[in-house]
Amino acid sequence: MSALRPGDITDEMIQAMDTAKRQGLHKDLRALAANVRADAEGRYDGAEPGWRAGVEWTLLWIENTASQLTEGKP
């Protein structure tokens, strides 16, 4: 097997690699949100309102960021 030269890498290959990276990050962010949610469950009962709002804002931000990574992309 010969090594790839710069001209051998097509735009489609670059796009496929970018898509794979975005999908991987999307999956990782969704897993992070699930872990934060699981860790926060049961702690809401005695938590201060600011803490609860902070957790909810963080989850919303993570989920929105994850969605933007693959929204309208192949």
Averages of pLDDT over runs of 10 residues in the chain (74 residues) are 75 91 93 90 73 88 89 65
Q: How many CA atoms lie within 13 A of 49 on its CB side?
A: 0
Say what the pLDDT of residue 20 is. Answer: 93
pLDDT for the residue numbered 1:
56
**What is the rounded distance in angstroms from the CA atom of residue 41 to the CA atom of residue 51?**
12
